[in-house]
Chain A
Amino acid sequence: MTKDKARYKREFDIIVIGAGHAGCEAGLVCARMGMKTAMFCTDIESVAMMPCNPSIGGTGKGHLVREIDALGGEMGLNIDKTFIQSKMLNTSKGPAVHSLRAQADKKRYHEEMLKTINAQDRISLIEDEVTELIFTENSEISKDNNNNHNITAKNQQMKVGGVRTANGEEYSCRALIICTGTFLGGKIFIGDNVKISGPSGLRPSTSLGVQLRKLGFPIRRFKTGTPARMHKDTLDYDLMTEQKGDKKIVPFSFMNEDKDYDKEQISCWLSYTNEETHQIIRDNIEKSAMYSGNIVGVGPRYCPSIEDKVARFADRKRHQLFVEPEGLDTDLMYIQGMSSSLPEDVQHAFYATIKGLEHAEILSPAYAIEYDCVDPLSLKPSLESKMMDGLFCAGQFNGSSGYEEAAAQGLIAGINAVRKLKHKDPLILRRDQAYIGVLIDDLVTKGTNEPYRIMTSRAEYRLLLRQDNADRRLTGIGYEMGSVSEDRYQRYLEKKAKVDVEVERLKAQRVDIQTFRNFLIKHEALPLKHDEEAFERKTAEISETANQTFADILRRPAISYSDLAEIDDETRPALSANEAAETEVMLKYDGYIQKQINEVEKLQSLENKKLSEHLDYKSIGGLRLEARQKLSDIRPVTVGQASRISGVSPADINVLLVYLEKEMRSK
């Protein structure tokens, strides 16, 4: 294709709009995979900015960070450089739901990411607002359309060409990734005070949303909120409960697994609302922007504002809140769990009823923010738009919420934009492969009516998608894609081999029967010593137990991998903590893991059945009307994906299977 060289100020392979968590991952991976890449942001301040909570990770989200890292993304490395507290959640439960969460130094998180971007070859960070997409009519597709009368106008009749900016410049590209976060059409609400603004008072992006609507993109309004920030010296810490970090710090990144983190951690603080707080909120609830009807956007159910909590859960006497530092050299304390769109004076009144916050100085009030986002049902599983060829979308723009969800999509959108330019099949992670797969499949298949947050409960194969095996699940794939460095890949292979060898050894090796029984008596019977009868019973039972392999012994609930060292001979290898943990999980939960793998295999046949992009669902007899409509709109890639669309019933899936079978037979 010939281009008018004079027209464009600069030419790129890929342009990323936005430099938040999605934008950074997208931009970096494109550049790392060899593309000449530009990242546009309205303000350099917004690069990897954390406009809401000062933490990365948590249940499900921590898993996402591990996966991003395993695929060669940046988030894990960046938080490891900048955390000020680290905590492994859910340690009282099984390894599948252990979740890492770290408090970040927001300012340093931004600075470190900026350094990484500046140090990366082939990437240009441009501070300018993209106001318009430049596109062409897609001749290839329109030709195709003549043969497929049923295909709606949605089908990529446009093709990206570049962007126009507020400074009046034009830049060309072959692929484009929109990661506008809450900046697009951003509107901030504090009581009845409404302001056109991006997050944290930064300049929003207003024109692009107008153009997208005009072009027919299904743009919607979503809402999210953030609580007040308080001056750290005005809080009474004696009245709150201290929440310390873990003694032993586990890093997010695989690349830092061997490092010892011996740094001082900053505490968070726990306090509670009370009846007085709730009364003030109830008395003023009509002044909330959410309740006055000012906000049309839909907010998330799982992260409600305090007025929502009080109204919807009236029987609860108190709600907890966490006071979290935003960094080392800042006065800002973040009041987690207390987002609100009530007027400032009401905020002052109710915050002051809370233990520890009685004399707090509010540095910035809580606010709600409403923004433009696209209906993710208009996206393919590759995150490419079904409407415009070469346009990829990621992050909050796709209706998700959270830094981690955004970063995960940014990374995948980036990888797939590159693959598109290289004429390769997109990377589509399956639901049994990664939380990233669950996240994207949920978005593009089921859609969402509220900002979407990942949760471990959303995954069918939770036992397979552990944070301890993210590298095993994804690093090989990332290497094949070109997003994983040689260094990381070699280290991964080394670790994998060590664990595999150890697992095999434990499966094969035994100790002599007497040593084995003595070991069991020590670990299983002796702890029962206080109950003579139970002790006798257990001892008798052990004396009858036949000899077992180390792997079998490890499956006994009371025994850990480190316990085995007592009876293991000198062939026991020296493993790192992570290698040991992975070995233990692989053997201890082998039965359950196998059960899940069987489930996956049972459903695999549906995932393997491909559906053509141009399939005419209206011509398939037996499909119910609703199913026909949904299938035509969403255009699932596999029967498995089709089966997850709401409104498509099992009977419809059977009709589809029949159709495919017939097609195949007739060939």
Chain B
Amino acid sequence: MAETITAISTAPGEGGIGVVRVSGAESENIMRKLMKNCPEEIKPRYAYFGKVVADSKNASSEVIDEAIFLLMKSPASYTGEDMLEIQAHGSNVSLKKILAAILDSGTNGIRMAEPGEFTKLAFLNGKMDLSQAEAVIDIIKAKTDLSLEIAEGQREGRLSENIKTIREQLLDILAEMAVDIDYPDEDYNDSLEAHSDTVIDLKRVLDDVKTLLDTVSIGKIAREGIRTVIVGKPNAGKSSLMNAILGEGRVIVTDIPGTTRDTVEESATLGGIPIVLIDTAGLRESDDKVEKIGIERTAHAIESADIVILVLDGSHPLDEEDEQVLTYLEKMSADHILTVINKKDLGKSVNETELNERLPGVRMITTSLVGKGALEAAHKVSDAIGEMFELSSIRVKEMNIVTNERHIKMLKNAVTDLDDAIAMLQNGEPIEVAELSAHYAYDSLGAIIGEEVGDEVLDTVFSKFCLGK
């Protein structure tokens, strides 16, 4: 039985408009069911404005929203099937109501779309090939100039060239091993020395693969931004700093401790590099349930941070709460911590030398997060982040930066298998067993450039698509 699938296709959160999509043979019937006063004859690819209701035949059916209805007929649609797009107001509530109305419409075979399923259908119906599909993911995800540049480089095939070169080297080694195994009589000798050559060659390949993998962190920054978590005790000035960096007053700053109970995320760009700023609740022991959850989230945010900015109230000596934050940070590497000592204007009570001993090597900025001081602090923090991540040295145009999760996984597999092969040869395990591992590495590298494909590649690729694209 043919299925019809549906999902909210726009990102969650408030927005100007929101889109609910339907794909499958029942698309037209669903339009008739949900659109009040739906015309007798629906022109495909034509925008109809109307009221959305749960059941158009029932006059008392409550109006959910006003929307534009767009019907597309197979094959002229994104998925290649009949499709319906309902462009409503972007409120979560109304979109969810529309979705519920579709799912409850009693349509044959209607169900929620799985993540990436619309694009999967597009692929399955021959609307795009695998490489196009992967390019779509990257374009969707390219939030910044930098990641677009990386995607550009990938499309130009620079990564493919690099992988091909590595594979050719590996192929030579595999060929040598094959000769060793299949031609034992031949004059090429099968001494331990020969195997140590193989080990050297394999190590060279391993180094090349590792070099590529090392670019992953740059790629991750380019794609996801630098996760910057701002911590400190309540009222130390975290939100002020964040607002200064963002240049807007979205986070309310008050004098009552604990206002920012949850973590708040905001995105900004720094010299083309995205940064994600996360303002946290304090780490104060609390009995308040809501605040407790906030504290847990803060701890989690610190763990997943690329950089932690510790904001200290410079007007008071370090107290128990500061200590608690410090204990967290002491476990981290100094290159990922930035300390901002606030309230210079209120007189300095924090001992910088003591702090240096507690967090050796950590950069420190002393400032007053009020008025012009806040802006100045924001500049200093930005510069410090730039230096910490050597952003100026990232020359995307000349580098092969690996950003795709599937590529990363394949490179990691290759590293494991090459490590295995080398260890086996060194431990005197049979060459045909070592050859097998080297061969797996070769296949993994091949999978990156599409020389090898199994069912799982497709599955992985499509699960990477966000719901409804």
Contacts and interface: CB of A to CB of B under 8 A. Distances in A.
Q: By CB atoms of chain A within 10 A, which of B125, B126, B184, B427 has the most?
A: B184
A214 interface: no
Contacts of A557: 427-429
A94 B430 contact: yes
A603 B1 CA distance: 28
Interface in A591-626: 592, 595-596, 602-603, 605-606, 621-622
A278 B432 CA distance: 34
B108 to A, nearest CB: 14
B436 A93 contact: no
A150 interface: no
Contacts of A665: 1-2
Contact of A97 (B125, B126, B131, B181): B181
A573 B30 CA distance: 73
B291 to A, nearest CB: 48
A589 interface: yes
Given A557-B427, A605-B455, A654-B453, A94 B433 contact: yes
Interface residues of B, number: 35
Contact of B181 (A318, A457, A589, A595): A457
B436 A463 contact: yes
Contacts of A661: 124
Given A93-B431, A320-B187, A60 B458 contact: no
A242 to B, nearest CB: 15
A92 interface: yes
Given A59-B184, A653-B453, A654-B130, A457 B178 contact: yes
A483 to B, nearest CB: 29
A596 B130 contact: no
B432 A650 contact: no
B190 A463 contact: no
Interface in A620-664: 621-622, 649-651, 653-655, 657-658, 661-662
Nearest to A453: B182
Contacts of B433: 94, 96, 463, 589, 592
Interface string B426-455: 011111110010000000000000111111
Interface in B293-312: none
Interface in B85-138: 123-126, 129-131
Interface in B391-435: 427-433
B456 interface: yes
A455 interface: yes
Interface in A53-74: 59-60
Contact of A457 (B130, B182, B456): B182
Given A592-B433, A650-B450, A89 B126 contact: no
Interface string B176-210: 00100111111100100000000000000000000
Contacts of B1: 665
A618 to B, nearest CB: 14
A89 B184 contact: yes
B320 to A, nearest CB: 45
Nearest to B124: A658
Contact of B185 (A89, A606, A650): A89
A595 B184 CA distance: 26
Interface string A502-523: 0000000000000000000000
B182 A456 contact: yes
Given A463-B436, A651-B129, A602 B181 contact: no
A480 B457 CA distance: 37
Q: By CB atoms of chain A within 10 A, which of B125, B126, B187 has the most?
A: B126
A651 B454 CA distance: 10
B28 to A, nearest CB: 20
A557 B425 CA distance: 13
A99 B2 CA distance: 55
Given A602-B454, A606-B455, A654-B453, A59 B183 contact: yes
B436 A92 contact: no
Contacts of B125: 658
A456 B181 CA distance: 8
B181 A93 contact: yes
A596 B436 contact: yes
A118 interface: no
Nearest to B431: A93
Contacts of B181: 59, 90, 93, 97, 456-457
A462 interface: yes
B124 to A, nearest CB: 4
Contact of A650 (B2, B183, B436, B452): B452
Given A93-B430, A93-B432, A596-B436, A320 B186 contact: yes
A650 B448 CA distance: 12
Contact of B432 (A319, A456, A602, A654): A456
Given A96-B432, A621-B126, A654-B130, A90 B184 contact: yes
B432 to A, nearest CB: 5
Interface string A563-602: 0000000000000000000000000010010011000001
Nearest to A622: B126
Nearest to A602: B454
B422 to A, nearest CB: 16
Nearest to A621: B126
Contact of B130 (A320, A606, A651): A651
A592 B183 contact: no
A520 to B, nearest CB: 17
A661 B2 CA distance: 12
A646 to B, nearest CB: 12
Contacts of A320: 185-187
A585 to B, nearest CB: 11
Nearest to A558: B428
Contacts of A606: 454-455
A139 to B, nearest CB: 38
Contacts of A655: 126
Given A59-B182, A455-B178, A457-B182, A462 B432 contact: yes
Interface in A73-129: 89-90, 92-97, 99
A406 B252 CA distance: 84
Contacts of B130: 650-651, 654
A185 B442 CA distance: 43
A622 B433 CA distance: 39
Interface in B201-229: none
Interface string A448-463: 0000000111000011
A303 B256 CA distance: 87
10 contacts: A59-B181, A93-B181, A93-B431, A96-B432, A99-B184, A557-B428, A589-B433, A606-B455, A651-B450, A654-B458
Given A93-B432, A621-B126, A650-B453, 9 more contacts: A59-B181, A59-B184, A96-B430, A319-B187, A457-B181, A649-B450, A654-B458, A658-B123, A658-B125
6 nearest interchain CB pairs? Answer: A94-B430, A650-B453, A622-B126, A457-B178, A658-B124, A455-B182
